Structure formats: structure tokens, C-alpha cells
A and B are shown apart, each in its own frame.
Chain A
């Protein structure tokens, strides 16, 4: 079976600084992956390279077997690759519901009948229900709490009907109850067939969520495997706790 995502020998430099050095990662369909690493280890840079926000200097990125290395982010979104952001980036001048209209109109426009406004809004409400935000459909982003903003990011990402969803610290700054709520939503989304890569610092959440963990340090993959195995790896312990 070919991999859903294949990151091969990817290197990304910012002037003299190597943020990612020769990174290789393979992700299979249906996976639940935790991407961990200390601050500055290159997690967000890797996500940005995969989603097309950054272009790596070296290496290739394949999605569903196709080389997407040179594709713009909007084309990757159309191929089924969605992401959320570490700091939520809602479309603040739109309502929650209208935020979802953007991917519905631009990504899945050939799968839904956009002329049928009622059906499109029904679809948006169903997406909001899946992330438990349907009671805030008319609210504007400025009026949302932190956890609601995180849910909006998730709803907007899944509106594009992705096969792979990359969540960049979707639980940062949330209370324990809210972390569990987001975790439940992510597990539900994975159960519905979406492969999820979760970048996270909250280790309890990572351990509960992940079937597999990839650990980055100083722009390199230092461990990749089952959660218990990765957490016991001496390099991972050194990266987090120091030598």
C-alpha cells in the first residue's frame, strides 16, 4: 500500500539556520500521529513545508503518490491536505458559519451544489455539530473563546473534506476539560476516516491520542515509533530533559 504522505530528505533553511535537515517521514492512511519535540525543533516548519506555506530547499513531498513539492497551499488543500494553526487565524470579519463557506466554495465546490444556499448552510451546520460549535454559528470570531476558536479552526479544516489533517498545537492554552473535549473531537474525526497528525506539547494528550509518535529535535527526526518506545528513547529524553 502506498503511503498517504511521504516526506523525503526535506531540508529547510532560514538564511544560515537549518530548521529542518534531511527529514524523512511516512504517514499511512488512517494513522493517528503525535508530532513532538522541544520548542524550535522544527515541528511547525515541517507542517509549513507539508502544507506549502514554506518551500523546502531540498527534498520531495508526496501526497497520495503525487509529488506536491511545488504546489501552492490552495492546490494541496484541494488534494485533501488540511491544517490548523498554532495561533488561531479565523476570518474575523465573517461569522462562524461563513468561515466554513470559504473552503466549501473554494475546495469542495464540485462536490456540493453551491446554488442551493440552504443545502450549503446545512452542510456548514453539520460540520459545526461535528466539532460541537453549532450553538455559535452566527457569532463572529472576535466573540469566541479560545476553545471555540480552536473548534472553528478544526471545522474550517474539515470543511475541505481532507484526507490528512495536521493540527498545530490545537490544545495550546486550554484548560484540562477543554483539552479532553478537543481530543474527543479529534478521535471522532479520525474514526470517520481522516488521518491526523497532531503537533502537541501536552504529553498526556499526545499519549492518549497517538498510535505512533515522531519526535523532532534540532530539525531532525530523532525517534519514530510506538508511543511507549519513543518516550523511552534516550535521545528523546535527552532532548526534553537535557543530558
Chain B
């Protein structure tokens, strides 16, 4: 068994349990409201990192997948009054198929050309929804929430619990990919794609898997949005901000490990909630400055800094030990 496996699974079990049990503490509803957003960004940043971090393909289409998830959930809700679990499953399926489709169209492009193509995908999907009357077109659609699910006091608390499950699921998937043959293959193709292909790595297949998984998670993160905000409209749902934030969180947290983007998401999304009291632009400014600082001073992000401190402590201990042996 790999080191850290038990603590990881304990954490994975505890997070949703804590999310379910927190209301006992009698916390203000607002905290659940903002924690939902923090966890939503944990999913988005983790999902972004599967393609952007592990495979090195920088995706600016996060908003497209997130929005497609929200609208897929909305459609099954309007058509079939499907429960949230079904909405999430359908959204994830739509996201995976979109990921596959977008991947087939764009993954032969490299570097900045791929990134530009993902923006194009986002614009195409947004334009499609803008002209789709069934889901309200450009004006969007208002949702009337049904009765709250049994076992929860409010919708916000229920959605906070659901998002905690999605966050754990995204971390489990990211960790599996990172520690498996898939992760090594993605890492190899990020470092040297042609060499990886000639070393037996089916690079196109791995990139498509990464696109599909990443797209499915992003779309799943968007699925509870109609219930959460009671209103869905394309401009905010397909916003480029989601892409910029997911990318920033992964870069600042560190793209090399599965927990890096989650760490970045928790820090930035939490600070966003506090800085929002000043102004959202002020928070964007802070994120921008932080991003520039990390890219220049700590390219490995917080993960890199933590690992560097860990290595430094180990080497100091070894130096001290050898010094005492000499004495």
C-alpha cells in the first residue's frame, strides 16, 4: 500500500460526513452558501489540472464545460423533473462527451493553439445556448425549487453536502490518475510527447481520456448550479472567469500533485469571499498578482514550496546527524 493511502481515505470519508454534520453546530446559512462555492472551485481546479497539469494542455474552456453541466441539469429538470443525482449524472455524461468531442477536434493542436481552440469551443457552446429558447435564451430561466430533500433543513445545506461529495470524488479520481499508469503516461507526454509516443504511450487516447474525465467533472460541478442560484443565464454561467480562476488555483496550488489545485482553490475561493466585501475586482487583482508572483518565484506552486521545505528539513536533520557522528 502506498504511503498516505489510509489518511487519504479517512479524509475522503470525513469530508462529506463533516459536511452533513456541520449544521448541528448551528452555523449561519451564509457559511454553507460560500463553502459551496469553495468546494465547487475545488472540483473545477482539480478537473482542470487533469488535462492542464498532468498532460500540460492548458484549457480555457472550463466555463463551457461548467455551463454545459448547469444547462444539462436544467434540461433534465425541466423535461423530466429528474432528481439532483440524475441531473449530475446526465451533466457528467454530457461533459464527458463534450470533452471527447472537443478533444478529437483540438488535441492535435499544441501549446497556445490548443488553448485558443478551447476558447473557441466555449464561445460556440455559449452561442448555441444563447439561441436556445427552451432554456430561456439570453435572458435565462428562473427555477422554482421543489421541497427540500429529506434529511436536510435547507437547499443550501443539501447542496453543500452534494458538492462535498463531488469534491471528494474529483480528488479520488485525480489521485488515482496521478498514481497510476495513466498519470505516468500523461506526465511523459507533457514532458516529451513524441518520445512518449515512441516509448509506447498511446498519447491521443490518454489525452482523450483526460479530456473526458476533466470535462465530466467540470460539468458535474455545474449541475447543482440551477438549484443553488435558482436562476441560470448564459453570460454568467459560461463566463471566462471560471477558466481563469480554475487555472490560477491549479498554478498557485501546484500542478504536480492532486492536492495542489484543491489547496489553491480553498485559499483563493475563501479569500474571494472575504475580498468580495471590498470589490470583486480587488480580488481579481490579488489573484493576478499572486499568479505572477508564483510563476516567477515558485513555479511549483504551494506544493513545490511545501515539498522544498520538507526536503530542506530532511537534509538539515541528516547534516546534524552526520555532524554528531563526527563529534
A interface list, Cβ under 8 A from B: 51-53, 72-74, 76-78, 82-83, 85, 89-94, 98, 101-103, 105-107, 109, 114, 156-157, 159-160
Going nearest first, the 6 A-B pairs with the smallest beta carbon separation are A107-B200, A106-B200, A89-B195, A89-B192, A91-B191, A77-B200
List chain B residues, Cβ under 8 A from A73. Answer: 194, 197-198
B105 to chain A, nearest CB (A): 19
List chain B residues, Cβ under 8 A from A77. Answer: 198-200
| B: contact size bracket | 20 to 34
| B191 near A92: Cβ-Cβ < 8 Å | yes
15 extra A-B contacts, CB within 8 A, seeds A73-B197, A83-B198: A51-B198, A52-B198, A72-B202, A74-B199, A78-B200, A85-B194, A90-B192, A90-B195, A91-B196, A93-B187, A93-B190, A98-B184, A105-B185, A107-B199, A159-B199
Q: A89-B192, A90-B191, A94-B191 are in contact. Are A101 and B184 (CB under 8 A)?
A: yes
Q: A91-B187, A98-B184, A106-B181 are in contact. Are A82 and B192 (CB under 8 A)?
A: no
List chain A residues, Cβ under 8 A from B200. Answer: 74, 77-78, 102-103, 106-107, 160
- Secondary structure at the B interface, as helix, strand, loop or mixed, is helix
A74→B196 CA distance, assembly (Å) = 8
List chain A residues, Cβ under 8 A from B202. Answer: 72, 74, 106
List chain A residues, Cβ under 8 A from B192. Answer: 89-92
Total A-B residue contacts, Cβ distance less than 8 Å: 80
B interface list, Cβ under 8 A from A: 181, 184-185, 187-188, 190-192, 194-204, 256
List chain A residues, Cβ under 8 A from B190. Answer: 93
A83→B196 CA distance, assembly (Å) = 11
A7→B172 CA distance, assembly (Å) = 47
A82→B199 CA distance, assembly (Å) = 7
A89→B185 CA distance, assembly (Å) = 15
Interface centre among B181, B195, B197, B199 (most CB of A within 10 A): B199
Interface centre among B192, B203, B256 (most CB of A within 10 A): B192
| A91 near B188: Cβ-Cβ < 8 Å | yes
A105→B200 CA distance, assembly (Å) = 9
| B184 near A74: Cβ-Cβ < 8 Å | no
List chain A residues, Cβ under 8 A from B199. Answer: 74, 77, 102-103, 106-107, 156-157, 159-160
| A91 near B195: Cβ-Cβ < 8 Å | yes
List chain A residues, Cβ under 8 A from B196. Answer: 91, 102
List chain A residues, Cβ under 8 A from B256. Answer: 93
| B198 near A102: Cβ-Cβ < 8 Å | no
Q: A89-B192, A90-B192, A91-B192 are in contact. Are A53 and B184 (CB under 8 A)?
A: no
A91→B199 CA distance, assembly (Å) = 11
List chain B residues, Cβ under 8 A from A89. Answer: 192, 194-195
B260 to chain A, nearest CB (A): 14
| B181 near A105: Cβ-Cβ < 8 Å | yes
Interface centre among A53, A102, A105 (most CB of B within 10 A): A102
List chain B residues, Cβ under 8 A from A82. Answer: 198
